[in-house]
Homo-oligomer: A and B are copies of this chain.
Amino acid sequence: MTTHEAFLSPTPRTTVIRGRQRARAERSALLDVLRSARLCHLGVIVENVPRVLPTVFGVDPDGPDRAGTLYLHGSVASRSLIEAPEQDICVTVTVVDGLVLARSAFHHSMNYRSAVVVGRPRRVEDEEERIRALDAIVDQVVPGRSSHLRAHTRKELAATSVLALPLYEASVKARAGGPVDDDSDIAAGGVWAGVVPIGESVGSAERADDVEPHLVEPDHVVALSRS
């Protein structure tokens, strides 16, 4: 088992400059943000333009890379994934917890947790690690799902690129709490201020038409609407 730094080690490019009071250096805060999301936004430079794409991801806190591993996957034909290992990329995960309504437009804000991971990705070639990565990606979206599925086929594995990004070079920001208004605006009064909590709603599962009628919703599907 790899041991990991308890604290992130920000380099200049992951040092939070704006809103430094919102930076959280603890590795546990990074893992908390990653655990709370089903989706990340991947930044890759393609022809000198930053391209930002939503994609799923998986996390192995004990993965082989420094400070653990974040996994991405995609088609072997995906241009972003083809070009990614030749450059430093950025993966950002954002969780919105609330809308912060202040007395002035200027002090409006959001309560959120976000993580930015930067680094040179490694193309995963080892088959066992590739399978673990693909299962981690499925389980990030639907915890517990991968163990209910048949094994990946050789053809599926051949069609899929897997990239690994170390969790080492990362920064975490978070905001919580109510609006912070100017004293003069509080004194003037007359404007409602506060926080509106935001979260994810999970609807009732809709079974596919061709699922056998006797199959009940498995626990990992039922659990989604309870989380």
Contacts and interface: CB of A to CB of B under 8 A. Distances in A.
Interface in A163-196: 178-179, 181, 185-186, 188-196
Interface residues of A, number: 97
Q: Could you say how many copies of this chain the assembly holds? A: 2
Nearest to A134: B105
A110 B53 CA distance: 14
Nearest to A199: B201
A94 B191 CA distance: 32
A124 interface: no
Nearest to A56: B110
B52 A92 contact: yes
B50 A44 contact: yes
B194 A211 contact: yes
B224 A211 contact: no
A135 B150 CA distance: 52
Contacts of A64: none
B13 A54 contact: no
A116 to B, nearest CB: 7
Contacts of A138: 105, 108
B101 A54 contact: no
B217 A192 contact: yes
Nearest to A88: B49
A149 interface: yes
A6 interface: no
A96 to B, nearest CB: 6
Contact of A212 (B13, B52, B189): B189
A148 interface: yes
A152 interface: yes
A189 B103 CA distance: 57
A25 interface: no
Q: Give the 10 A-B CB pairs with smallest separation, nearest first.
A: A197-B203, A43-B50, A201-B201, A43-B52, A54-B94, A52-B92, A50-B50, A194-B207, A41-B41, A106-B156
Given A52-B92, A106-B159, A149-B191, 11 more contacts: A38-B198, A43-B51, A104-B156, A105-B135, A105-B156, A186-B210, A189-B212, A194-B205, A194-B211, A197-B206, A201-B201
